[in-house]
Structure 1
Amino acid sequence: MNEYYPNFAIIKEIKKETINTNTFVLKFTDQKIADKFSWKPGQFMMLSVLGVGESAISISSVENDNSINATIRNVGNVTNSIFSLKKGDSLGMRGPYGTGWPLEKIIGKDILIVAGGMGLAPLYGVINHVIRNRTEYGHLEIIYGARTPENMVFKDEFSKWKRIKNSTFFLTADEITRENPFECRTGLVTSCFPMMKTHHRNAIALLCGPEIMMRFAAKCLETIGFADKKIYLSLERRMKCGIGKCGHCQIGLKYVCKDGPVFNYDDIKPFIRPL
């Protein structure tokens, strides 16, 4: 398959997450391509609308028939065009690209997931992977924050995640203006750190969200004993080609689309803006 060439995919279903965020269930129209599709949580696809452009979108999950769930926030020309499509329409899709979360390195370890806003989408696959392979991992701790509870994605999953064996689950929002349906705290994700059960000695931290959130979260984790090598984060940059050719997503000597988007904090720390 030509890595530069998008193939057509059909929209099988559209699930509303928030007022401006939907999860699109997509499947390649070519069954051979669909059958061969494989991915790792943390990778992304390039989605395109003819005559408009392409956009890099994280894969949130992949179903048994290799349908791809892409959770998209309507924030620009390409995503606005995707939102104008309906069930049964087609769009262009190529990938997956990038490096995923280090699932092989966290076997036998406790896992701390810190996500903000749309940053939960690239981590959704990790949570599902841990659920399916629960005996291979230690304690799972999820801290998820958003601007308001209404801005949270995957709300239908919260009750299930609260019942995961050997786990803790915190929800927090910058502000709560309506009735609180999720037992959600008020504050930043770092406000949950004093209550978390995860100890740095045998844990790996996975971070994804706005860059300022990740910088503060990583700094806080350092102060409580997490080594930089035990922290992973997923960066978002304006990716154009997805394969490290155009240079739009270059950060230092690395390309986010090819060397990332998941990086070890120890490798990427010098290239992100300091606090």
Structure 2
Amino acid sequence: AGLSPKADTVVLPLLQRSDCIVLAGYDPIEMRVGWRNPWPADAPVIEFSAVAATHGMHAARHSFVGNVAAGLAALGSGLEQHPVWPDGLAAAARAALRAKFAAGGDWGPAQAFATVRAVLPADTIATADSGAHRILLSQMWSCPAPRTLLQSSGLCTMGCALPLGMGAKLAAPERPVVVFVGDAGLEMVLGELATLRDLGLPLIVVVLVDRSLALIEMKQRRSGLANRGVDFEGTDFSAVAAAFGGVGAVADSAATLTEALDGALHRNKFTLISCVIGRRAYDGTF
């Protein structure tokens, strides 16, 4: 929410119905303008953050700076548990979001994400780089537990997904780890593949290949600006993977992606899967 207008049509009305709002480490710096004070003016808002808020995006009735987890524990200490949203509004909102972001039959980023989620084990840890793919993936990826989808939510750093994935695999070597990254983001950190090779980590890297900085291109087009500095030529990522001691594969359908993922799960080295989706593939997806 906040980056996806499609999700906002479901989430913002639910937020307006809330009688108490708890902000736990919420960083609104990348949120759209519709998320400036998005709740009722008289709603009690309790905010826990690691640093003092200077963004001006919202006001909170009570604001605490410090350890977010400890603050939440103190807030709930001694309170009786009772049903939340007893009228089923939250469950209905979740169902509406699933319907809005269901993958269709045509190949594209949505079907790629749905295929990866269906093939990989439930306890897989996923990391997401910054860009259009992260906005869509964040709506579609189901997480069975906290800390199973890692991303740069505040700073939105490009190139972060690969080192995040390596760190996750080092911390939990028994669990599958998949990295989602755009082609531009991967090109920024190609040298990290040498680190991945030297660490001997069987990471699965899924690179969305559209030869474009898609999110910026969409903003340029929406603003009526000329296309400038957002399109580029393609890279042979399979050859790059082989040069760095890994295995490369190309996927242009759910079937070829499934085959590549099955092979990656039984490999003791990293696999780099190029999902070829084409330019403007994210139009209308989020």
Fold shared per TM-score above 0.5? no
TM superposition score category, shorter chain reference? under 0.3
User: TM-score normalised to the size of structure 1?
Assistant: 0.26
More helix by share: 2
Identify the structure with the greater strand proportion. 1
